[in-house]
Chain A
Amino acid sequence: MNALKQLGQYTLLLYQALRSVTEFSTYRQNLFSEFVKIGYQSIPIIMLVGIFTGAVLTLQTAYQLDTDLYPAYIVGSIVAQSIIIELAAVISGLVLAGKVGARISTELGTMRVSEQIDALESMGFNSVAFLVIPRIFAGILMFPVLYIIASTLGIIGGLVAGAADGILPAAEFMKGGRLFFFPEDVVFGMLKSFVFGFVITSISCFKGYYAFGGAEGVGNATTQATVLSCIYILLADFVLAAILL
C-alpha cells in the first residue's frame, strides 16, 4: 500500500515537473549551477573510476586468458567492449548514485524540514520548477558526458596497465579494441547513462522533496534515495540490455 502511495507521489511529482518545463526563467539559474555540481564536480571521481576499472579489467582478463588458444589482442577487445557497453555506464552510475543522489536528497530534504520549500511556495513560487527540473535536466544531460569521460579513460587505463605490466603491448591492445569497436555500442552506453541520470536525479529529488521528520528524516530520505537509485540502475541496465542488445 505504501509502495503504491510512493509510486503515485513520484508520478505526480514528475507530472508537475513536466508541466513546469516551460517556466524556463524560474529554473534557468539553478540549471547552470546544477550542470557544474552534477557534471563538472563529478569529473575527478569519474576519472578515477574509469582509469581503475579499465586497468583492473585488463589485468584480470589477461590473467584469465593466459593461454595460447587466443591471440593477445583479444584482451583489448574484451576490455574496450566491456567498458563501452557496460562498465563505464553502470559503475559510474552506482558511484554517482552516492555522490550526486545523496547530495540532491540531502539538500532538498533539509530545505523541506527547515520549511524553505514552504517558504518558496508561500511566495507564489513553483518549487518543483525551481528545485526539481534543473536537477533532472542536469542529470540527463551531464551523465552521458561523464560516461564518455569514464569510457575513454577506462580504455586508456587498460592500455597503460597492460603495457606497464608487460602482459600486453599498447599496439596489441589498440588492435583488439579497434577490431570489435562498433559505434552503436557507444550510443547504447550513452543511452544507458541518460536513463541512469534520470533514475538517480528523479528518485533523489522525490525522496528529498517529500522528506519529513527533522535530521533523522533527512538521513532516511538520503539512504532510501541512494539504495533505490542503485537498485533501479541495475534493473534499468537489465531491461535495456534485454531490449536493445
Chain B
Amino acid sequence: MIEINNLTKSFGDNLIWRDVSFTIQDGETLAVIGKSGCGKSVLLKHLNALLYPDSGEVVIDGQCVFDLDYSELRIMRQRFGILFQGGALFDSINTFENIAFPLRYFTNKNESDIKKEVEKALEMVNLKDAGKKPTSALSGGMRKRVGLARAIILKPDYLLYDEPTSGLDPQTSDEINELIVYMADSLDITSIVITHDMHSVLSIAEKVAFLDDQKLSWFGDIEEMKKSEHPPLVEFITASEYKIKA
C-alpha cells in the first residue's frame, strides 16, 4: 500500500501542488490525470524518491521513503518499475541488453537464464523478434514496449507509467492500454498511470486522482468519476471529447 500524506512541492517560487493526500491499495490501478504542466510526472517521481517534496510523506508499507538513507532507498526502488515518457532506453546498447541490464547488475542469473527471462519479457510486450535491434531503430510504440519489458524484468511490486500513450496513434495506444491491463492482471501488480488521455483512463483505471489548480482536486473510483459533477473534472473530461455515459 502506498500512502501519500500532505505532499507539497515547489520549484523555487513556483508552487506545483499543495497538501496532496491519497492512498493506493495493493493490486489497484490508479490513473493520475490533469492538464499538461500540472505536476503529474513530478508526483510520480516522488513515489520512489527520485524527487523530494518541500513537505509531506510517501509511505510504503509503513515506511516513509524520504526517511531512507541512500542504500535503503536503492533497495526500495527495486520494488518499482517505471515506464518513462520516452522509454528512457539506454541508447548505447541494443534492445536485448536494455532489458537484460537490471538482471545483469541485480541478480546472479547466468547468461542462459537472462536470455530466457528477456525473451519472455519481450514476448509479453509482443516484441518477440526485436531483441537485436538498436534502440534508435525502434518506433515510439516499440520504445514504450521495450521500456515496459525492462520495467517488469525484476518483477516489481509497483509499476509506474508516465504518459504511456502520449505521442502514439490510437491503435498503438489501445495496444499499450491492453498491455497495462494485462500486466496488472497477470503479474498482480499495483499500477499508477500518469495520463491526460481519458480513453486510456476508461480502459485501465480503477481509481482516479485529478490534479488541478495546484492541488488534488478530486479522488475516487472510476464509476464515481463517471457520475461526478465536480466542475473542473467535468470540464477536463468534456474537453477530452469523451462523453461518458453514466
Contact = CB atoms under 8 A, between A and B. Distances in A.
A124 B75 contact: yes
B135 to A, nearest CB: 10
Contact of B88 (A26, A115, A124, A125): A115
Contacts of A118: 45, 50, 82, 84, 88
B82 A119 contact: yes
Interface in B188-243: none
A121 B45 CA distance: 11
A114 B86 contact: yes
B78 A123 contact: yes
A121 B77 CA distance: 8
Nearest to A118: B50
Interface string A102-131: 000000000000111011011111100000
Contact of A122 (B82, B91, B105): B82
Contacts of B70: 126
A16 to B, nearest CB: 8
Contacts of B82: 118-119, 122
A121 B74 CA distance: 8
Contact of B85 (A26, A115, A125, A126): A115
B170 interface: no
Contacts of B105: 26, 123, 125
Nearest to A30: B92
Chain A: number of interface residues, binned into ranges = 10 to 19
B86 A124 contact: no
A115 B84 CA distance: 7
B50 A121 contact: yes
B106 to A, nearest CB: 7
A29 to B, nearest CB: 9
Nearest to B76: A124
Nearest to B48: A122
Interface of A: 26, 114-116, 118-119, 121-126
25 contacts: A114-B91, A115-B84, A115-B88, A116-B88, A116-B89, A116-B91, A118-B45, A118-B50, A119-B82, A119-B84, A119-B88, A121-B50, A122-B50, A122-B77, A122-B80, A122-B82, A123-B102, A123-B105, A123-B154, A124-B75, A124-B76, A124-B78, A125-B74, A125-B105, A126-B70
- Leading 8 A-B pairs by shortest Cβ distance: A119-B88, A115-B88, A124-B74, A124-B78, A124-B77, A115-B84, A122-B82, A123-B102
